[in-house]
Amino acid sequence: MTLRSGRDGGVSGAEPGTLLLMRVEGLPGNKLATLDLPAWVTQRGLARQLSPSRSNGLHAVQQRMRGLVAS
């Protein structure tokens, strides 16, 4: 499974979902399954910029990606 963003611009003004897709683009399934998105978001200083709703959304996306990889 390979996810692609279809985006070739920078991250300036990007939505969290776009940043996420840019991070996982091209990763093989085994890397997607073990990716620690909360740590990645925190390391980049993005966690403090996310509303609780967006944070929950990113968590749901991570769970969905892991589910897709597992199937």
Spans of all domains in the chain = 27-70
Average pLDDT of the residues of the chain = 76
Question: Is pLDDT of 9 > 50?
Answer: no
Tell me which DSSP letter residue 71 carries. -
pLDDT at residue 16, rounded to an integer: 66
pTM above 0.75, yes or no: no
Kindly indicate the confidence band of residue 34, based on its pLDDT and cuts at 50, 70 and 90. confident
